[in-house]
Copies of this chain bind each other. A is one copy, B any other.
Amino acid sequence: MPRPSLAILKNLATQLRIDSVRSTSAAGSGHPTTCLSAADIMSALFFAEMRFDPHDPHHPEADRFVLSKGHAAPILYAAWAAAGAFGRDEVLNLRKITSDLEGHPTPRLPFVDVATGSLGQGLAAGVGAALNARRINSDYRTYVLLGDGETAEGSVWEAAEVAAFHKLDNLCAFTDVNGFGQSRPTQWNHDLEAFASRYRAFGWHAITIDGHDMAAILSALDEARATKGRPTMVVASTFKGKGVKLFENKDNWHGKALKKGPEEDAAIKELEAQYVETSDPAPVIPKPKEKRSEGALPNFVAKMPPPAYKLGDQVATREAYGTALASLGAVDPRIVALDADVKNSTFSEKFEKAYPDRFYQVFIAEQALIGVSMGLASRGAIPFPSTFACFLERASDFIRMAGISMLNVKLAGSHAGVSIGEDGPSQMALEDLAMARGVPNCSVFYPCDAVSAERLMAVAAATPGPAYLRMSRPKTPVIYTNEEAFTVGGSKTLRESDNDVVTVVAAGVTVFEALKAHDLLKTKGLSIRVIDAYSIQPIDQAAMVSAGKATRGQIITVEDHYAHGGLGDAVSEAVSMHGFKVRRLAVREIPRSGPPEELLDRYGLSARAIVEAVGAF
């Protein structure tokens, strides 16, 4: 299909500028200047390059566009309006509580794959989308638009490295070099080579152009498509606020809408004067290839082969994770795994061995680990990125955005808590439950044995939205039979009697301390109830309340985690309207290196500590 003429594309760029001004002025806030610098690039991408169906944005064969500079949302909306997805005047609802045209893009809009607005995240998502094309054997291409300022984010360079390593020539990104950040000129101003040389050093093909020269943009797109074996970065020199003299290339205009009335009117008039006369044919957006569907998702819980352990087997949950990951991989080709160079510690290497084509190595780059997973998930894959739980925190802001994006990213963190032992505090995740519980739509699972670990992997795969699985380093005995069922929001009552004096709620390694405490107290004639709260979010509220009622309103929580944001908080909230007493055992200071058992005892999580806490009621 021939491309539209330069005149048509320029006029569309002008239309996008006008609609960006109109929508932000109507909203009374937003970022018109950052839209105007990108208008020519947006026009070229949407009307002369990408294959997509404005009425079916999720089409699996459609080219993808990720607006990494999410504050330019108004021009994204203007582009989809111009493409016919909705009427142009709809953009006037920008930022209203009744509209999905939010201040920054979220997947509440069907044409937004991942939420952006936390800068520096879009390129990793683009890498994930590009890897997915390879996974489904599609020739769709992925385009990402970055701002120049966000290039300072390290996550951009993590993604750049991963893209080059995986030779993603189906990925093309633009950097909109308008020279201004929010509060001042960027450190690079309009030095295009500063960007190009960095990307070249990172293994990319880089092209520098005038970002307001439509022919140059088209030629760069041609060059990118012809480039094999590596991704392309188009470094485009632009002016912030291009087309409106009042703010074109001026500092102190970031995030400021033009006032309704004369200020807006003058800008619109100035922009309208930039339309050129033409009788060239209107653009026809090329449709994507014929739709192939991967089908409905299977019932992972039913389809996954049952675990194969004997009661009492000593198996670390992290190892069961690896086994289960490989099992899940057999159930559906959408299951993929990502590693940050710890596959021999998380045992994700078991998946790599079975399904090398669906295993993505990102090396020691946890933001890329999650960002790439977000891109994969946005295209239908169900990614399981895993690393040490504490290093997942490196990607905290990506995980936050995965929540806002409502994506099927299934995080797994191994080596949780002081029970890792001698490696010391830098390697101990003690705030990861707080991080995961801080994502309101994230399921949080914390298995104590290999059977529950395997079963909860299937539950995580089957549950829509993000999930976090917390795995432990030490070997623990298998306590569940292979047939035992586990559910979102469930728990297991492991010990109970009619005269229990306290309920002890444990999870992960502390389940075994609670069981030991039960036996110790038994010898003294005291009974306690023991619950394995393997689902931390949602927590099994009904079970907690009924156990509390049955045990004199006395509950102890014990967790290999800091006191805040984890199991203790979850249980306290669950029973908060019942007037129970909740005593929590948790790590309350920066721990140190030492043997796991000594650390569990020193920080008050051992059977001894539980017995003491029972006595203190």
Residues on A facing B (Cβ under 8 Å): 27, 29-30, 70, 95-97, 99-100, 102-104, 106, 108, 115-120, 149-150, 152-158, 161, 165, 181-184, 186-187, 197-198, 200-202, 339, 341-345, 349, 361-368, 390-391, 393-394, 396-397, 400-401, 403-404, 406, 422-427, 430-431, 434-435, 437-441, 537, 553, 562-565, 568-570, 572-573, 576-584, 587-590, 592-595, 598-599, 602
Knowing A70-B426, A365-B154, say if A593 contacts B102 (CB, 8 Å): yes
CB atoms of A120 and B598 under 8 A apart: no
Knowing A440-B563, A440-B588, say if A181 contacts B576 (CB, 8 Å): no
Which chain B residue has the least Cβ–Cβ distance from A115? B426
- A-B pairs with beta carbons under 8 Å apart, 17 shown: A103-B423, A104-B425, A104-B427, A104-B593, A115-B426, A152-B161, A153-B364, A154-B156, A181-B364, A182-B342, A182-B344, A183-B342, A184-B361, A396-B397, A403-B590, A431-B438, A564-B573
CA distance A97 to B390 in the complex (A): 21
CB atoms of A106 and B564 under 8 A apart: no
CB atoms of B424 and A154 under 8 A apart: no
For residue A200, which residues in chain B have a CB less than 8 angstroms away from its CB?
197, 201
Q: Least Cβ distance of A544 to chain B in Å?
A: 13
Q: Least Cβ distance of A22 to chain B in Å?
A: 16
CA distance A404 to B418 in the complex (A): 14
CB atoms of B565 and A573 under 8 A apart: no
Knowing A183-B344, A339-B183, A577-B583, say if A434 contacts B565 (CB, 8 Å): yes
10 closest A-B pairs by CB: A154-B154, A117-B426, A97-B594, A431-B438, A396-B396, A103-B424, A102-B593, A565-B565, A201-B201, A95-B422
For residue A564, which residues in chain B have a CB less than 8 angstroms away from its CB?
434, 437-438, 440, 537, 565, 569-570, 573
CB atoms of A116 and B182 under 8 A apart: no
Which chain B residue has the least Cβ–Cβ distance from A367? B154
CB atoms of A562 and B201 under 8 A apart: no
Which chain B residue has the least Cβ–Cβ distance from A154? B154
For residue A579, which residues in chain B have a CB less than 8 angstroms away from its CB?
553, 579-581
Q: Least Cβ distance of A53 to chain B in Å?
A: 26
Knowing A149-B364, A182-B345, say if A106 contacts B425 (CB, 8 Å): yes
CB atoms of A569 and B562 under 8 A apart: no
For residue A201, which residues in chain B have a CB less than 8 angstroms away from its CB?
197-198, 200-201
For residue A363, which residues in chain B have a CB less than 8 angstroms away from its CB?
149, 152, 181, 186-187
For residue A343, which residues in chain B have a CB less than 8 angstroms away from its CB?
183-184
Q: Least Cβ distance of A72 to chain B in Å?
A: 13
For residue A431, which residues in chain B have a CB less than 8 angstroms away from its CB?
400, 435, 438-439
Q: Least Cβ distance of A466 to chain B in Å?
A: 11
Q: Least Cβ distance of A184 to chain B in Å?
A: 7
CB atoms of A393 and B394 under 8 A apart: no
CB atoms of A565 and B157 under 8 A apart: no
Which chain B residue has the least Cβ–Cβ distance from A590? B404
For residue A403, which residues in chain B have a CB less than 8 angstroms away from its CB?
590
Which of B367, B397, B439, B582 is A390 in contact with, Cβ under 8 Å? B397
For residue A341, which residues in chain B have a CB less than 8 angstroms away from its CB?
149, 152, 181-184
For residue A344, which residues in chain B have a CB less than 8 angstroms away from its CB?
182-183
For residue A157, which residues in chain B have a CB less than 8 angstroms away from its CB?
154, 157
CA distance A598 to B98 in the complex (A): 11
CB atoms of B187 and A165 under 8 A apart: yes
For residue A569, which residues in chain B have a CB less than 8 angstroms away from its CB?
564-565, 569, 572-573
For residue A102, which residues in chain B have a CB less than 8 angstroms away from its CB?
424-425, 592-593
Which chain B residue has the least Cβ–Cβ distance from A582? B576
Which of A149, A150, A404, A553 is the most central at the interface, judged by chain B CB atoms within 10 Å of its CB? A404
Which of B97, B187, B349 is A598 in contact with, Cβ under 8 Å? B97
Which chain B residue has the least Cβ–Cβ distance from A159? B154
CA distance A345 to B583 in the complex (A): 42
CA distance A495 to B547 in the complex (A): 37
CB atoms of B426 and A391 under 8 A apart: no
Which of B106, B365, B390, B598 is A400 in contact with, Cβ under 8 Å? B390
Q: Least Cβ distance of A115 to chain B in Å?
A: 6
Which chain B residue has the least Cβ–Cβ distance from A116? B426
CA distance A588 to B95 in the complex (A): 21
Which chain B residue has the least Cβ–Cβ distance from A420? B103
Q: Least Cβ distance of A389 to chain B in Å?
A: 11
For residue A361, which residues in chain B have a CB less than 8 angstroms away from its CB?
184
For residue A580, which residues in chain B have a CB less than 8 angstroms away from its CB?
579
CA distance A102 to B426 in the complex (A): 10
Which chain B residue has the least Cβ–Cβ distance from A438? B431
For residue A99, which residues in chain B have a CB less than 8 angstroms away from its CB?
593
For residue A588, which residues in chain B have a CB less than 8 angstroms away from its CB?
440
